[in-house]
Amino acid sequence: MIKNNYYEQKLNSQKLFKVYETKIPRVKQYLDAEISFVRNHLTGSERVLELGAGYGRILKALAGNCKSIVGIDISDESVSLGNEYLKDSPNAEIMTMDVINLTFEEKFDVILCLQNGLSAMKVTSSNLIEKMLGMVVSGGKVYFSTYSEKFWDYRLMWFKEQADKGLLGELDLDKTKDGVIICKDGFKAITHTPEDLKMLGHLSGYEYQIQEVDESSVFLIIHKK
C-alpha cells in the first residue's frame, strides 16, 4: 500500500463513517450480506484479523461471533475514532498499521480483507498473499471480497451519493466504466473479476473457493490446509 494514500489523507475518520450512512436500501443489503456471510462461517472460538478495518464497522459487527478480533488501518484518525466506536466490545481492538508491514507475533484463525479491500490496499502480489497466509494457523482461512458485476448500477449510485455528500470528488463519468470508478479528485476504485480471484487463489498454493453472495459480493476463500 502507498503510505500517503487517499484513505489516509482524505477518506478517513468521520468521512469514512458517513460513507456507510447510506440511504440506498440495496447498498445496506449488500453490506449486511457480506458480514452475514462471514459471521455464518464463524464458530465463536476464532482469533480474527481484519485488514483495512477503517473505524471498526465490521469488527463491531463480528465481535460477538469470535473469541477476539483485531483490526488494522493506515489512518491514525480512523483508528482513533474506531477505539471510541469499539469501547463496548472488549474483545475487539483496532490499531494503526500498514498491510505491507504487518508486525503481529501471534497467528490468527481467520484473516479478513473485505469490502473490496483488494483494490483499496492494492493486495495483488503473491508475496503479500504469502505473508498473510504465514499469519494464519494451519486449518485457518483468509477471506477476500470484491464486488459482483451484477451490483455495478447500485455501486455507481452509492458512489454518486458519497460525492454528493462531499466525501469524494465528483465522478468522472467518461472514465467510470467496466468496474472502475474514477473521481475528478484522483480517487480510483477497481473491481477484481472472478478470474482475478482464481489467479490469486492459485498463486496461494492452497485449496480455495470462489463464491458469489447476494449478487453483490464475490468472495475468494483460501483454506490453509
What range defines the domain where residue 99 resides? 6-153+193-223
pLDDT digits (tens, 9 = 90+) for 182-207: 999 888 888 889 999 999 999 899 99
Contact (CB, 8 A) for 53 and 115: no
Report the residue count for the chain.
225
What is the per-residue pLDDT for 123? 60
**Exposed, middle or buried: residue 9 (CB in 10 Å: 0-12, 13-18, 19+)?**
exposed
Q: Report if residue 50 sits inside a domain.
A: yes
Q: Report if residue 197 sits inside a domain.
A: yes
Q: Report if residue 188 sits inside a domain.
A: no
Q: Report if residue 61 sits inside a domain.
A: yes
Q: Report if residue 183 sits inside a domain.
A: no
Whole-number Å distance between alpha carbons of 42 and 216: 21
**Residue 49 parent element (H or E):** strand 47-51
Per-residue pLDDT tens listing for the chain (225 residues): 333 454 444 444 678 888 999 999 999 999 999 999 999 999 999 999 999 999 999 999 999 999 999 999 988 888 999 999 999 999 999 999 988 888 899 999 999 999 988 877 766 566 778 888 999 999 999 999 999 999 999 999 999 999 999 888 899 999 999 999 999 988 888 888 999 999 999 989 999 999 999 999 999 999 998
Per the rule left: phi > 0, alpha: psi between -120 and 50, beta: everything else, 178 is left
Q: Report if residue 47 sits inside a domain.
A: yes
CATH at 201? 3.40.50.150
**Residue 131 parent element (H or E):** helix 126-134
Residues 44, 49, 54, 58: what is their CA dihedral angle, to the nearest 10 degrees? -20
What is the per-residue pLDDT for 127? 72
Residues 153, 55, 65, 144: what is their CA dihedral angle, to the nearest 10 degrees? 50
Q: Report if residue 166 sits inside a domain.
A: no
What is the per-residue pLDDT for 129? 82
Instruction: Please count the structural domains in the chain.
Output: 1
Q: Report if residue 184 sits inside a domain.
A: no
Whole-number Å distance between alpha carbons of 204 and 101: 19
Packing angle of the helix pair 126-134, 194-204 (nearest 10 deg): 60
Strand order of the sheet with strand 217-223?
92-96, 68-73, 47-51, 108-113, 136-147, 217-223, 207-213
At residue 94, φ and ψ (nearest 5 deg) are -140, 145
Whole-number Å distance between alpha carbons of 158 and 168: 11
